[in-house]
């Protein structure tokens, strides 16, 4: 694969929170695909082919008088990504059982040791949504279950599901770089029964799962939840994240219309991860 050119935006944000979380959410709506939270704000990455000069014009947070946001940007090659994330990527501990770390970090004494090299993919456990989805997985029984990880990014959620005993796992992401990175991470963690695919919910034909995990964003979830339900076994579980607490009523209404029942949600810095049962 030829190396794609990315643009790296460096945002200096005051105050850092909650402005950084809002900024990340709005950037995700305009094709930015990876983020690193820094001491001063956010580094955000977008493929040059997806970029256009006035791409930030529609971001409401940039005109919000409550926040002061300055930024600059430059081009980077994919091979330079390692240096960027290695300087920012610290191990993440989820409860007392799970650590998400890079290959260069010291091996911890935990039950679930997940080694991730994220490159340009989303999902290291640093972001609230990934962290909470890892919490959900840790709290539930995956032994012998069939699982779909939709919008899989690095593959970290699928990998934890496999470590917890899931026997058949499909991980799907629309982005080619995420697809390739997830395959690498699946192999790195010796999870041979995870099948990684590049695509969308349109691939879900005649599939059936005990558990579906979807950490994407509100708009895609609203569109794809009916498709997920068609693939969910009776009594199955849908975990969704990638949206704010204020979005729960809209997501829950969509779920209710297709037979899903709200059971529980986790919350972290106004982001949520919600459990529904079919």
- pLDDT at residue 4, as a whole number: 65
173 annotated as belonging to a binding site for a ligand:
yes
Taking the CB of residue 153, how many other CB atoms lie within 10 A of it?
30
How many angstroms separate the CA atoms of 102 and 95, rounded?
A: 18
Residue 79, pLDDT > 60, answer no
pLDDT band at 31 (very low <50, low <70, confident <90, very high): confident
10 annotated as belonging to a binding site for a ligand:
no
How many angstroms separate the CA atoms of 156 and 100, rounded?
A: 8
Compute the mean pLDDT over every residue in the chain, rounded to the nearest whole number: 90
Residue 2, pLDDT > 60, answer no
Which of these, 198, 197, 258, 196, lies nearest to 224 by C-alpha position?
Answer: 258
The mean pLDDT value for 250-277 works out to 96
CA torsion angle 176 196 37 74 (round to 10): -10
Backbone angles phi, psi at 142, to 5 degrees: -110, 0
Higher confidence at residue 123 or residue 108?
Answer: 108
195 annotated as belonging to a binding site for a ligand:
no
CA torsion angle 62 63 65 67 (round to 10): 0
- pLDDT at residue 119, as a whole number: 63
Condensed to tens digits (0 to 9), the pLDDT of residues 153-189 reads: 899 999 999 999 999 999 999 888 889 889 999 999 9
The mean pLDDT value for 241-249 works out to 92
- pLDDT at residue 84, as a whole number: 61
pLDDT band at 253 (very low <50, low <70, confident <90, very high): very high
User: Domain residues of the chain, as ranges?
Assistant: 5-85, 89-277
Residue 63, pLDDT > 60, answer yes
Tell how far CA 20 is from the center of its chain: 16
CA torsion angle 276 18 124 11 (round to 10): 140
CA distances from 195 to 9, 131, 146, 204, 252 (A): 33, 22, 12, 13, 29
130 annotated as belonging to a binding site for a ligand:
yes
% of the chain surpassing 70 pLDDT: 91
Residue 131, pLDDT > 80, answer yes
- pLDDT at residue 39, as a whole number: 83
Range 89-277: architecture per CATH: 3-Layer(aba) Sandwich (3.40)
- pLDDT at residue 1, as a whole number: 31
- pLDDT at residue 269, as a whole number: 86
The number of C-alpha atoms within 13 Å of 260 and in the hemisphere containing its C-beta is 29
- Lowest-pLDDT choice from 85-94, 158-167, 244-253: 85-94
% of the chain surpassing 90 pLDDT: 66
CATH number of 5-85: 3.30.70
């Amino acid at each position: 694969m030829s190396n794609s050119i990315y643009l790296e935006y460096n945002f200096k944000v005051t105050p850092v929170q909650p402005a950084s979380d809002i900024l990340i959410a709005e950037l995700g709506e305009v094709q930015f695909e990876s983020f690193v939270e820094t001491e001063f704000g956010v580094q955000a990455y977008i493929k040059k082919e997806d970029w256009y000069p006035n791409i930030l014009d529609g971001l409401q947070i940039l005109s919000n008088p409550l926040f002061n946001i300055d930024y600059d940007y430059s081009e980077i090659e994919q091979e330079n990504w390692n240096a960027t994330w290695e300087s920012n990527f610290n191990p993440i501990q989820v409860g007392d059982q799970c650590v998400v770390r890079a290959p260069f970090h010291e091996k911890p004494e935990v039950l679930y040791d997940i080694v991730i090299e994220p490159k340009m993919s989303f999902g290291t456990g640093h972001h609230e949504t990934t962290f909470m989805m890892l919490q959900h997985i840790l709290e539930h029984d995956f032994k012998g279950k069939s699982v779909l990880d939709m919008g899989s990014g690095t593959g970290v959620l699928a990998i934890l599901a496999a470590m917890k005993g899931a026997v058949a796992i499909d991980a799907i992401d629309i982005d080619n770089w995420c697809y390739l990175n997830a395959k690498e991470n699946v192999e790195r963690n010796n999870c041979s029964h995870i099948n990684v695919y590049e695509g969308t919910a349109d691939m879900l034909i005649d599939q059936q799962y005990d558990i579906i995990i979807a950490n994407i964003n509100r708009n895609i979830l609203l569109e794809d939840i009916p498709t997920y339900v068609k693939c969910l076994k009776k009594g199955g579980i849908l975990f969704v994240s990638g949206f704010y607490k204020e979005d729960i009523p809209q997501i829950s209404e969509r779920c209710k219309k297709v037979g899903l029942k709200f059971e529980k949600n986790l919350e972290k810095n106004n982001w949520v991860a919600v459990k529904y049962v079919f």
